[in-house]
């Protein structure tokens, strides 16, 4: 064992499997090391995997060999005393299935083993003990995968031949690699899958087996028992596409209650689950978190200042989602997707010979749900830095009046049939509560563009939508 190493990581050919050198301090009395120090180790590159249980394996004799087991949790393995030879085999589905890595560990080296990577240890000295931290509680019902220690495909060269060591009968009879069912990746859960954004996410991700779609009928965020509604450890991402979006109805007593329940109370429960299980939470927000008085585009760091109930619930939701260590808050504006929306309505009015009055003192950018879905997929796939991202359509800002004229023009109708009016004039005859609208809904998309995502150009997106509708 080497004293005085610097804390450092060594990557391996198996994705996520990382060896760490640990500083060990020793003298004539013995030695001391920090076996697990979250702040330092996360800074050195160890995932913040949230261990909940610590186990110790003691082995009497050199040559004791444990089978290749892939458990449904992540592990931090280190040696307390003695020395071991370790062999790790990737048993996860994907291009590295079957990849092998071997090395020796002593008290000055440790290894992080991600879920689904099979691990086995052979002691090289008597009275060897190794410890491992895991981020899920052991359960007799947990689903494991196993590989035979002598598998010819893996071709592990054991320091002490397997016919000369202590091995359990069970470990001797595990399947060869050809008989191992690859461990599926952790799942992504899309909540609100029947809404406009949920429909776009279904199209974006398709029927891949690792994406699960839920509606309020199958998962109600406001219902008791949400924490036990799923085996949450099996998920690595939750995309929350569910929301209460009836901005005017939210100004009524019943609407206010419903808006807070969906946009705040339910999200609070979801954020707690994501934090507990280390899940990435994707939460979709709105330009309504701002009051619209800023003269230029709003950035992700501008202070929140919502005008109405809907905006207040979305601002509260942003604050809650931001407490989740792994979060993406996707702030968007003027959303257009399948179903009833402004573009579809204007096209229908044009075809029916109606000449509408349209608001001309609110400025923003249309955002198509297809772009939001693509942007979410991009941020997740590229492991972009967690945080808040403005994600809107690309191009110059427009008023609703400008957009209506463009729709009339694209569909072959005279845009001069559209008349511009102020927000006050438009709602002057309303007999029910009307939510205040931000006059400036322009969001700066510089941050998401720097992360490599670019939305469609405004007119290209509108033309494409009108062609498909």
- Entry field: residues in the chain: 469
Tell me how far apart the alpha carbons of residues 344 and 430 are, in angstroms, rounded to a whole number. 23
* Contact yes or no for 290/362 (Cβ under 8 A): no
Rounded to the nearest 5 percent, the helix, strand and coil shares of the chain are: 30, 25, 45
Q: Which residues are catalytic?
A: 69, 132
Specify the DSSP element, H or E, that contains 377. helix 369-381
Alpha helices in 11-150 (DSSP H): 38-43
Tell me if residue 267 falls in helix, strand or coil.
Answer: helix
What is the token pair recorded at 189?
Answer: 């859960």
Judge contact between 9 and 19, C-beta under 8 A.
Answer: yes
CA distance 20 to 165: 28
d(CA 351, CA 337): 20
Largest separation between any pair of C-alpha atoms in the chain: 94
Q: What angle (nearest 5°) sits at the alpha carbon of residue 215, between those of residues 212 and 217?
A: 125
């Amino acid at each position: 064992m080497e004293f005085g190493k610097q804390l450092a990581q060594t990557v391996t050919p198996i994705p996520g499997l990382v060896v760490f050198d640990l500083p060990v301090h020793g003298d004539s009395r013995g030695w001391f090391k920090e076996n697990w120090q979250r702040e330092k180790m996360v800074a050195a590159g160890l995932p913040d995997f949230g261990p909940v249980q610590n186990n110790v394996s003691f082995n009497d004799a050199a040559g004791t060999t444990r089978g290749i087991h892939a458990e449904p949790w992540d592990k931090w393995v280190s040696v307390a005393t003695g020395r071991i030879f370790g062999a790790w085999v990737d048993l996860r589905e994907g291009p590295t299935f079957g990849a092998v890595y071997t090395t020796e560990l002593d008290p000055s080296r440790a290894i992080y083993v991600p879920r689904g990577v099979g691990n086995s240890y052979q002691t090289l000295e008597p009275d060897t003990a190794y410890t491992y931290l895991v981020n899920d509680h052991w359960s007799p019902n947990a689903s494991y995968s196993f590989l035979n220690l002598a598998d010819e495909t893996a071709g592990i060269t054991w320091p002490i031949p397997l016919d000369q060591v202590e091995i359990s009968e069970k470990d001797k009879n595990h399947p060869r690699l050809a008989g191992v069912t690859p461990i599926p990746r952790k799942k992504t859960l899309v909540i609100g899958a029947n809404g406009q954004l949920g429909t776009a996410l279904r199209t974006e991700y398709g029927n891949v087996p690792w994406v699960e779609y839920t509606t309020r009928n199958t998962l109600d965020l406001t219902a008791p028992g949400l924490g036990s509604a799923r085996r949450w450890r099996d998920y690595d991402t939750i995309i929350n596409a569910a929301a209460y979006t009836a901005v005017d109805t939210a100004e009524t007593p019943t609407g206010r209650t419903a808006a807070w329940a969906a946009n705040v109370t339910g999200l609070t429960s979801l954020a707690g689950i994501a934090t507990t299980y280390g899940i990435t939470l994707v939460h979709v927000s709105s330009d309504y978190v701002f009051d619209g008085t800023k003269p230029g585009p709003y950035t992700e760091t501008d202070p929140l200042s919502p005008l109405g109930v809907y905006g207040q619930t979305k601002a509260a939701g942003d604050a809650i989602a931001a407490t989740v260590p792994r979060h993406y808050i996707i702030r968007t504006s003027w959303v257009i997707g399948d179903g009833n929306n402004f573009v579809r309505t204007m096209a229908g009015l044009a075809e029916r010979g109606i000449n509408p009055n349209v608001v001309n003192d609110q400025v923003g950018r249309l955002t198509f749900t297809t772009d939001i879905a693509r942007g979410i997929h991009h941020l997740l796939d590229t492991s972009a830095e967690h945080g808040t991202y403005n994600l809107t359509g690309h191009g110059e800002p427009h008023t609703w009046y400008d957009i209506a004229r463009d729709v009339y023009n694209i569909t072959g109708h005279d845009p001069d049939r559209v008349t511009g009016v102020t927000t006050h004039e438009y709602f002057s005859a309303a007999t029910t509560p009307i939510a205040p609208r931000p006059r400036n809904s322009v969001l700066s998309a510089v941050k998401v563009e720097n992360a490599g995502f670019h939305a469609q150009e405004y007119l290209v997106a509108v033309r494409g939508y009108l062609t498909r509708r």
